[in-house]
Amino acid sequence: MPADTRLAAHDERAAHVKALALAAGFDLVGIASAEPPDSLSHFGDWIAAGYSGEMAYLAGQVERRRDLRVAFPWARSVICVALEYDSSPPYSTAAPLDRGWISRYAWGDDYHEVVGVRLRRLRASLLAELGPHESRAYVDTGPIVERAYAVAAGVGFWGKNGCVIDLEHGSWLFLGEIVTDLHLTPDTPLPGRCGRCTACLDACPTRALVAPYVLDARRCISYLTIEQRGAIPEPFRQALGRHVFGCDVCQDVCPWNRRRRHRGPSSFEPRPGLFAPALAELAALDVQAFRQRFRRSGIVRAKRRGLLRNVAVALGNVSVAGGTVPLDRLASDSEPLIAQQARDALQRISEGT
């Protein structure tokens, strides 16, 4: 088959794949080559700098994540998809003083399930339409630096806050991908659109964005409230404010999110009690109540010990009527981490710090 004919066939097949992705329920889709994007050449340096913190699964998979073909030698293309999840306009600063802040991505159903259902639907369509082929589908679970491939696929451009940003959907995006042995024409990456804006760097409470496009996870509130397993380091406790699970600040202030034109599906609408929940109410959760309240929610990742540790820090950061009552309860919790964090918060309150 002449080269021009093969190229045209690949182009046509890529267009068909994209149509199937949109039909499966995704907002955005693009195709990247399985060859590692140029941005991944810095991944090893980022790990070496210690910016991954306690996330040992990243440090232990440098070669696999720098080039996905190490894990999937048969891979030729990566189908990258995105689904918007933000469904409500309020910002964390609008929450009442006695309320905690849960990141938008965890307000609704677990994104692994919601995006996973769509990916399985797409994968089944690809097999039915294009015949047998090798593929793997992932939603934030495989040895793949999702953002790097999404940017390479033209799904969005790489923002200074480290997020993938689309001009119409902003950065409130869940990413997924299908690694395949299909020959598909790759898309062209989009040019950056951050310009001189440094809103995300300036607004970060812990200065986790140490440079444009460079995140020190060890300072990031999302990392500290979810990935950090021990006590919250003292230098960052006050900066956590009322964040009890994740952080939206660098996306809240992004001009592209203020201009977005779409909303996420109903699956991501806030469940009762997940938008700005009362800190005292969270502090009263026992193991069974925690499991029941956050069943099929992304918050289970932090476990009760992690969430209530964060609640103790948040209670220590706010001054409200009866604020020490839930802390007194947490200070005698059977989980040592929670009890210690609550005692530290009570001490800070008594010292006026």
pLDDT per residue as tens, the chain (353 positions): 444 545 555 689 999 999 999 999 999 999 999 999 999 999 999 999 999 999 988 888 899 999 999 999 999 999 999 999 987 655 555 667 789 999 999 999 999 999 999 999 999 999 999 999 999 999 998 899 999 999 999 999 999 999 999 999 999 999 999 999 999 999 999 999 999 999 999 999 999 999 999 999 999 999 999 999 999 999 999 999 999 999 999 999 999 998 888 888 889 988 888 889 999 999 999 999 999 999 989 999 999 999 999 999 999 998 665 568 899 999 999 999 999 999 999 998 888 76
pLDDT of residue 262: 83
pLDDT of residue 90: 57
Question: 3-class DSSP state for residue 99?
Answer: strand
Q: 173-180 and 209-211: which strand pairing?
A: unpaired
Phi/psi of residue 184, each to 5°? -130, 140
Looking at the structure, do residues 146 and 55 belong to the same domain, yes or no? yes
Range of the domain at 160: 3-87+102-180
DSSP 163-205: -EEBTTTBT-EEEEEEEESS--PPPPPPPP--TT--HHHHH-T
Dist CA 210 CA 41 (whole Å): 19
Looking at the structure, do residues 135 and 69 belong to the same domain, yes or no? yes
pLDDT of residue 2: 44
| Residues forming beta bridges with residue 32, ordered by sequence position | 78
Looking at the structure, do residues 223 and 172 belong to the same domain, yes or no? no
Number of domains the chain is built from? 2
Tokens for 348? 């800070």
Residue 221 lies inside a defined structural domain of this protein: yes
Residue 192 lies inside a defined structural domain of this protein: no
Dist CA 291 CA 77 (whole Å): 39
Residue 95 lies inside a defined structural domain of this protein: no
Looking at the structure, do residues 264 and 139 belong to the same domain, yes or no? no
Looking at the structure, do residues 219 and 167 belong to the same domain, yes or no? no
Dist CA 40 CA 337 (whole Å): 36
Burial of 220 (0-12, 13-18, 19+ CB in 10 A): buried
The residue type found at 229 is: R
Looking at the structure, do residues 172 and 233 belong to the same domain, yes or no? no
pLDDT of residue 168: 93
Phi/psi of residue 177, each to 5°? -155, 155
Phi/psi of residue 56, each to 5°? -65, -25
| Residues forming beta bridges with residue 176, ordered by sequence position | 81
Looking at the structure, do residues 158 and 129 belong to the same domain, yes or no? yes
Looking at the structure, do residues 156 and 214 belong to the same domain, yes or no? no
Residue 96 lies inside a defined structural domain of this protein: no
Which are the catalytic amino acids? Answer: 140
Looking at the structure, do residues 254 and 107 belong to the same domain, yes or no? no
pLDDT of residue 225: 98
Residue 191 lies inside a defined structural domain of this protein: no
Of 290, 278, 204, the residue nearest 244 (C-alpha)? 278
